[in-house]
Structure 1
């Protein structure tokens, strides 16, 4: 078997039961996903295949089998065989997995071990006991492909989600495995960063690497992939050539539960002009720095009530920092933030705003989904809440008694959205709410945001998802970085 060749014969995986203690300790890389069964696939070396289908169809589980993460790091029962570059992945020693297949997780924070970029790129290579010159050569080669040279001296906790994703891609590339597995790699990337990702994927294919990509956002893969494998209920539903896949009509892809196959048309970014209403969220001369590094400098910005405003811009432009300032999670260096003409300090903003963070694992604290969704509500608010309807709208029906940290990344995202929607805040901020979510859940979240706006709230969505913008946004504002790097 040649390097990069993949043979999957009757493969299946059923997750084992987790104890309550194990659920509490769960992370993005160890969350339970959908069981799979009877998977048969042959993937040629140097080709690129996308795994697609509705949330919960088994994409992540299949990646875990291919990457040697199940059953070694995920308790469960396997069946069939999964052979990559001649190695049976379900029995391969964990320390040898990276020699065969490298995985780029949906949330790259869960696969980092150091505090700064250069050290992270070297970490895995050092653990293979490679010579210093070999490590430096591999890092230089990988950085040349991904273009993150300007980030090498940065701390990981200072980077945006999209920048972290590119660092994770670079670290995987530096390992030089035959197969590279991507789990929702475009989830938090700006259009410019997606272009870099596409260039990286082309370079990997040209170098002979085999790529397997689990994705919901599909349009950018036109010209990259050779095949599309559609999963449903843990099985292969269809196996299509790239030509046939991208030739689907809009109705056909909707029937398959897929997101757009061509880029969505989105409204143009609009200037930050005054509105005649004084009821919205107004920002004046807002400045904020991390230490000596200025991040935010906004002379004027208005987010009106009753509308959904999309906030876009390159990775690292300060969108999430602005969200933290609006929600009172950070204090500005100078400037004012007003709601309905009244100036709000950080504490008042924190009480007035509800936020769905990009990394939702940091804001889920309940022992059940039901507890998390209703956390912080008064008795009267809980009695008035139509919980079944809210859970149905966010695709969480049947999960009410599950521990939130035992759910998949997409499910946890929806729990955080449901918890936010359950409040009666005048300001709602969503930071990449459709990251890792499929078509039906995107539509549901767009409808939920519209309902909040129709109730008179200020709704701000930070996103690179052109499909969400086209589906939900009334207006679009774009931020630009204060400095490159």
Structure 2
């Protein structure tokens, strides 16, 4: 079999109890958990690029784990059929040999890092293969030149944004020079500029003869990159379409399949009306300064977030959007300046009580033993009684999951649990950090509706996002942040 050739013959996989326990222990927060697959047949020629698409929890990540030799080796369960990559049977290949044929870029890159610094992470896998120092350096230089992260080489991983971490993970995979590269939601946290870099990287990989398999919800940027699109649902392949036929689907057809936009286009100016009943008051940031060590990150003269309005915060990866959210929520204390709500300046502790935040990595904020417990955590007895939990579960697509452990859910499902918990708190300020990361079309619409409901109740709603579809669906206004965080429009 030629290098880079993938065959999937009548494959099924059922997760075992040990895999669920391993997921809870590892807090792999942005991946599908326990999504069984069945009756999968695929033949992927060397040098081709295939898209895996479908709703959250459809089995895309499970299939990638089999292709990448991660299941059942690291995700215990029962596999049937055959998965071969470059002639190797991946379901039985020793984990330390997997890198010889395939590399995976995870949806949450934090879960695949082993070091604390970018340079060390890029070298880690190569050092484990006992490569000579000169070859390691040459491979890293070549990979960095492709992804454009030379400016990050000396940085600590914990100082990078989610999008920057994603590019580091891509670079580490490139440095391995495998036959096959597997991407799990690679654009989920990337700005438009970073997606352009990712697109160029993928085109270059194809030209170099690599085989690519890409599980993705954001689809438009893949036009001209993929050869075909495989649509999964409920753990099975439902359609396998040539790229030209796939991207020719009408908006009505792609919506019926639960797919997101297929054609690149900037959204129309936000047209969702603010609630007229809540136009007075809001959050105001004035003369705000914040630094990490000697590095000035936030430098804002004035910024306003009215009540009853959904404001989208956009800007390049690493510009400081998440840092601003942490300041607003009182998770960090500013060096100078004020943050006021309804004309009253609030200290960090007061902001913490007034704000709810859905983090980019939601696994870090889910602590309950069940979905229902997580959603109602911290509510007073009277608030619990007043909460219409079934209606909230229905609105967030969580009906039937209320007794599941949050960490046993897919990444998209966990995202919705965190959003439901924020809605239950009924806080005057609600922040969302990349809330549609890894989510399909129907859940994007549902989350937009939840944001609108919060705004209509008079909350200040701020969403940090690179997702043009979410902006078009929900936002009243858009603020673009640029270094050193000056307002642009």
Return the alpha-carbon distance in structure 2 between the equivalents of residues 299 and 452 of structure 1.
27
2:12 paired with 1:12: yes
What is the rounded CA distance, in whole Å, between the counterparts of 2:225 and 2:19 in structure 1?
41
> By how many angstroms is 1:19 displaced?
8.4
Cα distance between partner residues in 2 of 1:119 and 1:133: 15
What's the counterpart of residue 361 of structure 1?
A: 363
Aligned pair in 2 of structure 1 residues 427, 3: CA closer, same or farther (>3 Å)?
same
- Per-residue deviation at 1:264? 4.3
| Cα offset, 1:431, TM superposition | 0.2
Residue of structure 2 aligned with 1:379, choices 375, 378, 381: 381
Q: Structure 1: where are the runs of 5+ without partners?
A: 271-275
Contact kept, 8 Å, 1:10 with 1:38, in 2: the verdict is yes
Per the TM alignment, residue 45 of structure 1 is displaced from its structure 2 partner at its CA by 0.8
| Structure 2 CA distance for aligned equivalents of residues 40 and 98 of structure 1 | 23
Partner of 1:419: 421
Q: What TM-score does the superposition give when structure 1 sets the normalisation length?
A: 0.96
State the 1:266 CA deviation.
2.4
Shift of 1:405: 1.2
Structure 2 match to 1:295: 297
Question: Hey, what does 2:136 align to over in structure 1?
Answer: 135
Provide, for residues 212-261 of structure 1, a one-character-per-residue CA deviation record: whole Å limited to 9, x for no partner. 00001101101111110011111111111110000000000011110110
Structure 1 moving runs of 4+ over 6 Å: none
Whether the 8 Å CA contact 1:183–1:214 is kept in 2: the answer is yes
Task: Tell me if the contact between 1:23 and 1:403 (Cα under 8 Å) persists in the aligned partners.
Answer: no
Aligned counterparts of 2:241 and 2:186: Cα–Cα separation in 1: 21
1:203 maps to 204
What is the count of residue pairs matched by the alignment? 478
Q: Match of 2:99, SS?
A: helix
1:442–1:468 Cα contact (<8 Å) kept: yes
SS in 2 for 1:81: strand
CA contact (8 A) 1:215 1:436 kept: yes
- Distance (Å, rounded) in 1 between the aligned partners of 2:248 and 2:344: 53
Equivalent residue for 1:273?
none
TM-score normalized by structure 2?
0.95
Aligned to 1:301, the other structure's residue is in SS state strand
Unmatched segments (≥5 aa) in structure 2 = 272-277
Q: Which residue of 2 aligns with 1:451?
A: 453
Structural mapping, 1:169-248, within 5 Å: 169-248=170-249
Aligned-pair CA distance for 1:54: 1.1
Write the distance in 2 (CA, Å) between the matches of 1:162 and 1:40. 33
Say yes or no: does 1:82 pair with 2:83.
yes
Shift of 1:33: 3.5
Partner Cα distance (1:455, 1:342) in 2: 20
Instruction: State whether residues 317 and 479 of structure 1, in contact with CA within 8 Å, keep that contact through their aligned partners in structure 2.
Output: yes
Partners of 2:186 and 2:32 in 1: CA distance? 18
Aligned to 1:160: 161
- What is the Cα deviation at residue 402 of structure 1? 1.1
Question: In structure 1, what is the Cα distance between the partners aligned to 2:358 and 2:86?
Answer: 41
Determine the C-alpha separation between the residues in 2 that align with 1:125 and 1:418: 42
- Residue 310 (1) aligns with residue 309 (2): no
Q: Provide the aligned C-alpha RMSD in A.
A: 1.6
The 8 Å contact of residues 6 and 85 in structure 2, kept in 1 or not, is answered as yes
